[in-house]
Structure 1
């Protein structure tokens, strides 16, 4: 039985689209002692059920520490729920009640537990603020599913790098997002970061209404200009802030595009750049 369950966990984690997630949770639920009566006649040996549960719980917790996609790691916590194990979740809930997550050094599994707690909360996630948590690569990656579910993501002044910006945009591209406002103020995204975001605006499943790139170390907005010439990119976007970026020759091209009659974004200017 333990070999069967471990194999099922491994196969589910190998799936890119999560087609085995529900099956795995169903199978783990059936493995509990309380549900053994449903398997009468199918299993010839049912001894050691408690030990099986302990082993598979430990196995899943070890997998939670691995480099998993946000979706697969969240599913593992649903699996632990099926096995009636909430130790990691209760640990995170204690941190939340104490308000200590801004300074806590969490393990990858604990970050995933935090994402699970936030996603399964009864309250609709209107706003996510990364500043409330201790900044790290692991924090951002493990909470990507939460960012995608929220309507407003405040990621300002969080030391987000160009690489992390790429990870963020790839995650937002992968599935439809609820996100309507993205604030990246004060992160040194650079020109490659704004290019990734420009590509994201072209995605018709991404219905962003407000994008704040205030003071992000941007010097070239040609990629952004190109995306804004596409009517799909402008279908939802209402506000774009690029102030306090030392934009060079590409600045005027952007202003010209935004002054086009088909563009509904208003243009204002200051000494540093343009506020749109």
Structure 2
């Protein structure tokens, strides 16, 4: 694509994004007081069939790597390209990226995407605090196991993980809870509603909750 064409697509892409800036208020975080204003970027289905082009992924990745004010990225209901998600997750590992919330609810997330997300969670430092993967129906046991390796990492600081209505198997739920048992200090909210936790998962969950280091206070 020519530079002119690329710039035109970037402008069209930006015009479709819903950007929200949160001004400084009393009680704002020290980071905000130092001049960083949290920004939320919400992407509706783009284009109409919900698939982002490679160039659009590159624009998003560039924004993540260059704008430390960007705190929230909402890609709900979009069909995610594997190579595109790898670009985004590589951007999450950038020292300039301060993204705290990533919403992929109802999207198509492949096994390779799960591996990329796990890599982002394992990055040092990892700023991601909320990950919403609810209503993703194509998550496989192997994909969830890959994701669990990210939760297992001592660098993971995720506080909220939503996996509601993903049709997770007993094995997948077990992988997630085993990871939580190994790294219980940070996750505060876990949503596994609508999945097959079963007896083995309940036993693992009880073991997690008994751990004095467990920070979990909301479980669905």
- Tell me the residue number matched to 1:96: 14
Aligned residues: 184
Alpha-carbon distance in 1 for matches of 2:127, 2:12? 28
Do residues 179 (structure 1) and 132 (structure 2) align?
A: no
TM-score by length of 1: 0.56
TM-score by length of 2: 0.68
Alpha-carbon distance in 2 for matches of 1:180, 1:128? 12
Question: Map of 1:144-159 to 2, 5 A cutoff?
Answer: 144-147=89-92, 149=97, 150-159=99-108
Structure 1: runs of 5+ lacking an equivalent: 1-57, 62-84, 269-274
- Tell me the residue number matched to 1:127: 72
Change in CA separation of 1:98 and 1:195 when aligned onto 2, cut-off 3 Å = closer
CA shift, 1:87, in A, is 6.3
Answer 1 or 2: which has greater strand percent: 2
2:119 to 170, 173, 188: 170
The C-alpha deviation readout for 1:209-260, integer Å capped at 9, x for no partner, is: 1111111221222223322332xx1121111111100223422222321331
Do residues 222 (structure 1) and 169 (structure 2) align?
A: no
SS of the equivalent of 1:127 reads strand
Q: CA RMSD in A?
A: 3.0
Structure 2: runs of 5+ lacking an equivalent: 18-43
1:244 to 194, 207, 216: 194
CA shift, 1:86, in A, is 7.7
Aligned residues of 2:100 and 2:130 also touching (Cα < 8 A):
yes
Alpha-carbon distance in 2 for matches of 1:212, 1:91? 33
Aligned residues of 1:165 and 1:196 also touching (Cα < 8 A):
yes
The C-alpha deviation readout for 1:174-200, integer Å capped at 9, x for no partner, is: 443210000100113232233222221
Aligned residues of 2:82 and 2:113 also touching (Cα < 8 A):
yes
Change in CA separation of 1:252 and 1:145 when aligned onto 2, cut-off 3 Å = same
Alpha-carbon distance in 2 for matches of 1:143, 1:225? 26
The C-alpha deviation readout for 1:117-161, integer Å capped at 9, x for no partner, is: 45434x711110113866433432332245553100001100112
Alpha-carbon distance in 2 for matches of 1:101, 1:247? 32
Do residues 199 (structure 1) and 145 (structure 2) align?
A: no
- Tell me the residue number matched to 2:109: 160
Do residues 116 (structure 1) and 116 (structure 2) align?
A: no
Which structure's CA Rg is the greater one?
1
Change in CA separation of 1:234 and 1:96 when aligned onto 2, cut-off 3 Å = same
